[in-house]
Amino acid sequence: MSITHRFRFAVSVCVILFYVCACNAISTQNSEEGSESLSATPTQAVAPTQDGGDNGGITIEQDSLIPPIPPSQVRAILFEGFVELRWQGTGSDIDVQYNIYRRLSNSDYWEEISIVPVKDSNRGEYVFHDDTIESGISYEYAIAALNHYGKESSLSEIAKVEINE
């Protein structure tokens, strides 16, 4: 995972945890003058629980609403007869697969052409070969992560390849 994506992921996690902690800890109190004031006490963030519990964590339902981050460092390399796609895994332990999308360079329509299951710790490099290409056509590829809640990430950066005749 690139430093940029790690930073974005860390910032996203911090924002979510801050929001959850703040929502769980904010209380309305009457001050000595009789007006209302807000105070917040930080709580320890914990893993999602079945019912949200009283431990300051988020529920599984809330966790399921957070989309995964897309994979990074997507590259398309043209070989004779196929295009090789390479990308870095997200490192997320709740991602289950990567959905591979392709479109013609002058099109807005993305077609899902394959699914690649997550492997091991999901931190390494992934490789996919598209052998359904045609000469004289320019293609664009993008990849999305899908987590075990069925939530799909936004598309990765686009990788382009032009196949000359």
Report pLDDT for 77.
Answer: 96
Tell me which residue of 69, 90, 74, 73 sits closest to 151, measured CA to CA. 69
| Domain extent listing, the chain | 3-64, 72-162
Report pLDDT for 74.
Answer: 97
Q: Report in angstroms the alpha-carbon separations of 73 from 33, 40, 46, 105.
A: 57, 40, 30, 19
What residue ranges of the chain have pLDDT lower than 70?
A: 1-56, 165
pTM for the model stands at 0.66
CATH number for the region 72-162 comes to 2.60.40.10
Interatomic CA distance for residues 99 and 71, integer angstroms: 10
Report pLDDT for 49.
Answer: 55
Report pLDDT for 44.
Answer: 44
Report pLDDT for 60.
Answer: 86
Report pLDDT for 5.
Answer: 47
